[in-house]
Amino acid sequence: MSEVPGGDGGGEPPWNNSRKSTFSKSSSSEQLILQSSVSSSSLANTESSSSSFNETRYSPLGYQAEEATTNTEQETAEEQSASDQMSEFQPEEIFRNSSCTVCKNRRPKIGWKKDFTYAELQAATEGFASENFLSEGGFGPVYGGQLKNGLKIAVKQHKHASFQGEKEFKSEVTVLSKARHENVVMLLGSCSEGNHRLLVYEFVCNGSLDQHLSKHSCSPLGWKKRIKIALGTAKGLEYLHKNNIIHRDMRPNNILVNHDYEALLGDFGLARTQQEDSDHSSETRVVGTLGYVAPEYAESGKASKRTDVYSFGVVLLQLITGLETTDKELKGKSLVEWARPLLKEGNYPDLIDKRIVDSHDVHQLLWMVRVAEKCLSKDPHKRLPMENVCVA
């Protein structure tokens, strides 16, 4: 994100005026700009100081609104062969050997990847001991472990390993191991031995977003951290889409954070390249998570970048509201069903998580709400492409 709208939270909240005074509309789309001197990096380190909220011909994130609709022909041209896609990865330009400033956990060097034996992973996880269980991923359980060289890892077992052939598994690993970005969990290697299919990822030290948003969390996630996580998630998803990888299971459980609250997208067992998904166009099995699945995906079983964008919009709603997609407070409605009327009416205060109602920045909230609304458009062609959601 090149810039993040923000301020000191002072002054009259924008929603106290009519929507016409807040947003300038054209005949085809809402157009506005949120300008600020607060950069994404300053969110983590300094207090927001000042902001301006001006109406112009631009959209919430500074992109020209005329560019919001993706040309179908352009999308078709992007659907290249897997080998062509992989040749476009340039990890050394955007990936860094970063570390968590708290636990000093460094990421492995770029390009480090190996085929693990099952015995190695058994030893690393102490026989997949229950005390090393981390979470239940989209395709199976995830265990924490440590290699002999001291590197901490997360090992994911595939539930249905016997149904996935060696060739298909290796193809998936080849694609996913190329993904190198500071906001994407790194795939370190794999194990394909007998009926065992395991993926080995870097270990991310501070759990997943759902744990931090939980009402049972002893330390509620602050507003600045929520903004930072939203930005990191957007950058990670933009990177995947730029390289024609569709995540297919975007949700807080799959957004991991370190102690600096840098977001890393995880659980790529469900991911495919856009080309591969096109090759599987006859499939109708939806593999995402209920509450995050775009309407057209639920109907056709066909995933796309736009279905990922919809799921990202749901995640933004959760960051704003602190609610689960099937929260009891929603009285039987899904989070999106509950939120749509409030979004349409501009009734944003009713969306805010009560735990941060006195600490959020009204301009940043407005920015996040408007982005969420555009990502959740029922018409997939009107959703924001991720490259327009954030400018890395």
Q: HSE (CB half, 13 Å, CA atoms) of 13?
A: 14
Rounded-to-integer distance, Cα 186 and Cα 200, Å: 9
Rounded-to-integer distance, Cα 389 and Cα 378, Å: 17
Q: In degrees, to the nearest 5, what angle opens at C-alpha 18 toward C-alphas 226 and 353?
A: 25
What is the number of helices (H) and of strands (E) in the chain?
15, 14
Tell me if 24 sits within 8 A of 46, measured CB to CB.
Answer: no
Amino acid occupying residue 306: R
> Looking at residue 353, what DSSP letter applies?
-
Q: Locate all alpha helices (DSSP H) within the chain, ordered by sequence.
A: 19-22, 40-45, 72-78, 82-87, 91-94, 118-124, 166-177, 209-213, 223-242, 274-279, 295-300, 305-321, 335-345, 362-375, 386-389
Which CA distances in Å does 283 have to 30, 299, 352?
Answer: 36, 12, 39
State phi, psi for 383 to the nearest 5 degrees: -75, 150
Maximum separation of any 2 CA atoms in the chain, in Å = 65
Give yes or no: 279 in active site: no
Tell me if 140 sits within 8 A of 156, measured CB to CB.
Answer: yes
Catalytic residue among 8, 84, 115, 249: 249
Of the candidates 125, 132, 191, 136, the one whose C-alpha atom is nearest the C-alpha of residue 161 is: 191
Q: Which of helix, strand or coil describes residue 312?
A: helix
Residues annotated catalytic, as ranges? 249
